[in-house]
Amino acid sequence: MRIVDVCPFYAPSAGGVRTYVDAKLRSAARLGHELIVVAPGAEDRVVKVGSGAVLATVAAPKFQLDRRYRYFNDEGRLHRELSRWHPDHVECSSPWSSAGMVGRWQGKATRSLFMHSDPIAAHGYRLLRMCSHAVVDRLFARFWAHLRALGGLFDTIVCPSSQLSQRLSSKGVQRVETLSLGVAGDFSPRWRSERLRGDLLQGLGLPPSGCLLLGVGRLGAEKRWDLVIEGVSAAARAQPVGLILVGDGPRRAALLHMSRDMPSVRLAAPIADRTELAKLMASADALVHGCEAETYGLVIAEARASGLPLIVPDRGGAFEQLQDGVGVSYAAGSAKSLEQALLGYFRERDRFARGAGQVCHVPGLDEHFERLFARFGALGASALADTTGLKAAA
């Protein structure tokens, strides 16, 4: 099967998106499929990255809110790119304007929309947190109408968590299904290094008995790292708690400024080496996360696979991955609630660590891709059967 993946947020520094797409390219080749990833770029370019694996960029302008990214702005050009590859299936990985472009393409391929982002939760619910979700949904009525229209343009809309599937379905979006993700790389408790843990605690001015928290992800407003830093700093006034925050993004300078007088908080550069990241994850005491708008949360799954307890907000894909006895949740958007959750975790961290270590198996991304590609094949078979039936009826 030849699959074209229209991926608006693929970029050299795209974090979880790039991790997912790179693993997808490898898995498609292993399973005997051709995969062409079409992404906006600085120039028109086609790069063969493996057997049956291609990265094709279409010249596009930079995204003004985060200039590390670009966006498709020419529907006709994107349609010509799709037609050029003669795909059996087209997948779009963003519900923004590019999804409408893909949906309106006149090609015969089946098509799917994968909800890798949840714009209303990430922006609407967060920025208008003084309003109820029902009020925000009414304010975003046009975007909900856009999503419902996409349900008529795509053969399926795939969500990586059931909470997102349920929200879309409840708002009248059709053809929604759930397909969870997994982890890419060798994340495991066996990478734990007490020496590394001790060095990191020492760098935060904490003793070996302290609690080493880890945050990993894009430093964007929707990730709420300012809330995490505020909550950790408050908890650190009562207990020896520190945070290593790994990542980059538009909020980096502001977060550095915010934490300049907080010895218990340190920002670190992104870690491209997956083995080094696995070692760091396994050597921390818990993963703390601030974003309640994750559709799944690859970093959450990586932490689970590493045997880390989770400290996550009580909504979204991160919360859906929290299992009994392997972490705590707090009220989304509340630094005070996070502070109390951190102190509660500190008091019982030995129990949480034992629980996380016992349930740390997480499926790999290869298993996810096998199911995803099989679903694409089933869509094609169904479309062929419908066409054959129509011809017979005629």
pLDDT at 387 over 60: no
Q: How far is CA 218 from CA 152, 222, 301, in A?
A: 32, 9, 16
Helix (H, G, I), strand (E, B) or coil at 306: coil
Q: 311 pairs with which residues across the strands?
A: 288, 328
Q: Given strand 241-246, what is the order of strands in its sheet?
A: 265-268, 241-246, 211-216, 286-288, 310-313, 327-330
Lowest model confidence (mean pLDDT) among 201-210, 224-233, 336-345, 373-382: 373-382
Task: Please report the pLDDT score of residue 169 as a whole number.
Answer: 97
Please, what is the average pLDDT of the chain? 92
Average pLDDT rounded to a whole number, residues 17-41: 92
Task: Please report the pLDDT score of residue 13 as a whole number.
Answer: 66
Q: Phi/psi at 37 (nearest 5 deg)?
A: -90, 120
CATH architecture of 2-182+364-381: 3-Layer(aba) Sandwich (3.40)
Nearest to 219 by CA among 274, 187, 257: 257
Helix (H, G, I), strand (E, B) or coil at 294: coil
Instruction: Categorize the per-residue pLDDT at 68 as very low, low, confident or very high, splitting at 50, 70 and 90.
Output: confident
Average pLDDT rounded to a whole number, residues 82-88: 97
Instruction: Categorize the per-residue pLDDT at 11 as very low, low, confident or very high, splitting at 50, 70 and 90.
Output: confident
Centroid of chain to Cα 320: 13
For the segment 274-300, what is each residue's pLDDT rounded down to a tens digit?
Answer: 999 999 999 999 999 999 999 999 999
Average pLDDT rounded to a whole number, residues 216-240: 96
pLDDT at 161 over 60: yes
Question: Does 2-182+364-381 match 189-358 in CATH topology?
Answer: yes
CATH architecture of 189-358: 3-Layer(aba) Sandwich (3.40)
What is the C-alpha separation between 8 and 37, in angstroms, rounded? 10
Under a CB-based contact definition with an 8 Å cutoff, are residues 85 and 71 in contact? no
Pairing of strands 176-178, 211-216: unpaired
Instruction: Categorize the per-residue pLDDT at 216 as very low, low, confident or very high, splitting at 50, 70 and 90.
Output: very high
Instruction: Categorize the per-residue pLDDT at 390 as very low, low, confident or very high, splitting at 50, 70 and 90.
Output: very low
pLDDT at 212 over 80: yes
Task: Please report the pLDDT score of residue 140 as a whole number.
Answer: 95
For the segment 89-118, what is each residue's pLDDT rounded down to a tens digit?
Answer: 999 999 999 999 999 999 999 999 999 999
pLDDT at 16 over 60: yes
Burial 178-212 (b: 16+ CB within 10 A, else e): ebbbbbbbebbbebbeeebbbebbeebebeeebbb
Q: How many CB atoms lie within 10 A of CB 43?
A: 8
Pairing of strands 286-288, 211-216: parallel
Structure tokens, 201: 């605690």
Under a CB-based contact definition with an 8 Å cutoff, are residues 216 and 334 in contact? no
pLDDT at 391 over 60: no
Helix (H, G, I), strand (E, B) or coil at 123: helix
pLDDT at 241 over 50: yes
For the segment 247-260, what is each residue's pLDDT rounded down to a tens digit?
Answer: 999 999 999 999 99
Under a CB-based contact definition with an 8 Å cutoff, are residues 309 and 341 in contact? no
pLDDT at 67 over 50: yes
pLDDT at 65 over 90: no
Task: Please report the pLDDT score of residue 361 as a whole number.
Answer: 79
| Domains in the chain: boundaries | 2-182+364-381, 189-358
∠ CA(213), CA(219), CA(220), 5° rounding? 130
What is the C-alpha separation between 128 and 124, in angstroms, rounded? 6
Task: Please report the pLDDT score of residue 388 as a whole number.
Answer: 54
Task: Please report the pLDDT score of residue 14 as a whole number.
Answer: 58
DSSP 8-state assignment for residue 106: -
Amino acid residing at 241? V
pLDDT at 64 over 80: no
Task: Please report the pLDDT score of residue 185 as a whole number.
Answer: 82
Task: Please report the pLDDT score of residue 359 as a whole number.
Answer: 66
Average pLDDT rounded to a whole number, residues 222-237: 97
Q: How many CB atoms lie within 10 A of CB 387?
A: 11
Burial of 381 (0-12, 13-18, 19+ CB in 10 A): exposed
Nearest to 99 by CA among 115, 88, 110: 115
Average pLDDT rounded to a whole number, residues 211-223: 95
